[in-house]
Amino acid sequence: MKVPFVDLKTQYNSIKDEVRAAIDDVLENTAYVLGRHVVNFEKEFAKMHGVKHCYGLSSGTDGNHSVLWALGIAPGDEVIIPANTFIATAWGATLCGAKPVFTDCHPESYNIDPDKVEAAITPRTKAIVAVHLYGQPADIDRLKEIADARNILLVEDCAQAHLSEYKGKRVGGLSTASSFSFYPGKNLGAYGEAGAVCTNDDELALKFKMIRDHGSHEKYIHYSFGHNYRMEAIQGAVLEVKLNHIDKWTEKRRNAAKLYSKYLSDFSEVVLPVEMNYAKHVYHLYVIRLGSTDTRNKLQAFLSDNGISTGLHYPVPLHVQPCFSALGYRKGVMPVTENLAECGLSLPMFPDITEEQIEYTASIIKNFFNKN
Ligand SMILES: *Cc1c(COP(=O)(O)O)cnc(C)c1O
């Protein structure tokens, strides 16, 4: 049996007619950037996440940048971010000329550890970026308490966490501002590059609108510096269609995670992901941990030999990336993050994965441990 890591084709086939009609509408109407579909999508997406404003952008990375740019993060400032995340989280700070300060993650949630955040704060700290990694929200209440007590901004990177919930509330409106990615493989994926920013703050919303469109909200008048971070109309149209299905796809991911837990729970060799008691996890990734790097690598090869594709998230943590060598971090200072990098393995996860594929994957893992 073949088990891909992600399968986008089955999902496309299930919405093919709707998506093609929506794209056709864009082509016929010749408004190829922003436009009606993007506006409708923004409205619906904001409503879905319980947040007042949403602006469609060209990528999640541009969202990471826009959030900190609009908040005035500048050279000399420090921004605390988890060492365990995708590199784009760090570009938010670096593109503003600020210094990223990395912190370790929590051993159960794998998200930024509030205790470590507290220890990393200096007089220059201006913002904390809570990444809701793998689809599980970070511990927002504790982070907010820490940030509010010191007048530091708290923002969210929701690139992997569409529709996920913290204490019953959807992510995206739990902090000053948030960014989302709609990269094709994300839980809500466009058919190309796309992202968004959200906020409840009217003034900040206007800044987002201007940053994405050359510092302007009025033709030919540029009130501030800006960029071209606008969402393409085709992506807005695709996302508008997909919003009608995202609830169902999210539940299918959660169900797949339940099945993995069911079939893998009797292996002491495998540490399964934990859904924290405050969280509704949406399983962008299903990351297990093994006892050693050697075991992880051998298991990954064995799964591959048996037709099962897996991933690593993330094999080189941010604090030891070559681009950040000038910051002077050493290997060894982020033990939880480094353990995930060395011993973590992401199993196949997508809404259309079948119970047979999950059971098969679990049985191959079982064979591996019986043999070794
Ligand atoms: C994917 C991702 C991004 C970047 O989004 P793009 O749309 O690919 O630019 C940022 N942060 C995290 C945590 C991500 O997973």
**CB of 181 closer than 6 angstroms to any ligand 1 atom:** yes
**CB of 60 closer than 6 angstroms to any ligand 1 atom:** yes
Give the pLDDT confidence score for residue 262 in this predicted structure: 96
Distance 135 CA to ligand 1 centre (A): 12
The residue contributing the CA closest to ligand 1 atom 7 is: 60
Give the pLDDT confidence score for residue 372 in this predicted structure: 77
The residue contributing the CA closest to ligand 1 atom 2 is: 159
The total of other beta-carbon atoms located within 10 Å of residue 225's CB is 10
Retrieve residue 199's tokens: 């906020």
Supply the range of the domain harboring residue 262. Answer: 246-371
Distance 317 CA to ligand 1 centre (A): 15
**CB of 157 closer than 6 angstroms to any ligand 1 atom:** yes
- Are 137 and 227 in the same domain? yes
Distance 95 CA to ligand 1 centre (A): 15
**Of 242, 274, 297, the domain-final residue:** 242
- Are 167 and 305 in the same domain? no
**Of 242, 269, 296, the domain-final residue:** 242
Give the pLDDT confidence score for residue 141 in this predicted structure: 98
Indicate the helix (H) or strand (E) that contains 345: strand 344-347
Closest C-alpha among 270, 251, 253 to residue 362? 270
Q: What is the pTM of this model?
A: 0.98
Distance 244 CA to ligand 1 centre (A): 23
**CB of 136 closer than 6 angstroms to any ligand 1 atom:** no
Give the pLDDT confidence score for residue 267 in this predicted structure: 85
Residue 253 and residue 286: Cα distance in Å, rounded?
9
Q: What is each CA distance from 13 to 121, 178, 230, in whole angstroms?
A: 49, 31, 28
Residue 68 and residue 166: Cα distance in Å, rounded?
23
Return the beta strands (E) in 18-149 as ranges: 53-57, 78-82, 99-103, 125-131
Provide the H-helix boundaries in 103-245: 114-120, 140-149, 202-212, 233-243
The answer to whether 237 touches 37, Cβ cutoff 8 Å, is yes
Three-state DSSP state, 89: helix
- Are 32 and 155 in the same domain? yes
The residue contributing the CA closest to ligand 1 atom 10 is: 88
Distance 35 CA to ligand 1 centre (A): 24
Count up the domains in the chain and report the number.
2
Distance 159 CA to ligand 1 centre (A): 5
Give the pLDDT confidence score for residue 266 in this predicted structure: 84
Low-confidence ranges of the chain (pLDDT < 50): none
**CB of 110 closer than 6 angstroms to any ligand 1 atom:** no
CA atoms within 13 A on the CB side of 217: 10
**CB of 187 closer than 6 angstroms to any ligand 1 atom:** no
Sign of CA dihedral 344, 175, 251, 39: negative
Distance 172 CA to ligand 1 centre (A): 14
- The CATH number of residue 361's host domain is 3.90.1150.10
Terminal Cα distance for the chain, rounded: 22
Residue 42 and residue 83: Cα distance in Å, rounded?
30
Retrieve residue 176's tokens: 């000053």
- Are 250 and 238 in the same domain? no
Indicate the helix (H) or strand (E) that contains 11: helix 9-29
- Are 171 and 37 in the same domain? yes
- Are 235 and 346 in the same domain? no
Residue 25 and residue 32: Cα distance in Å, rounded?
10
Per-residue pLDDT tens digits for 256-267: 999 999 999 988
Residue 168 and residue 130: Cα distance in Å, rounded?
17
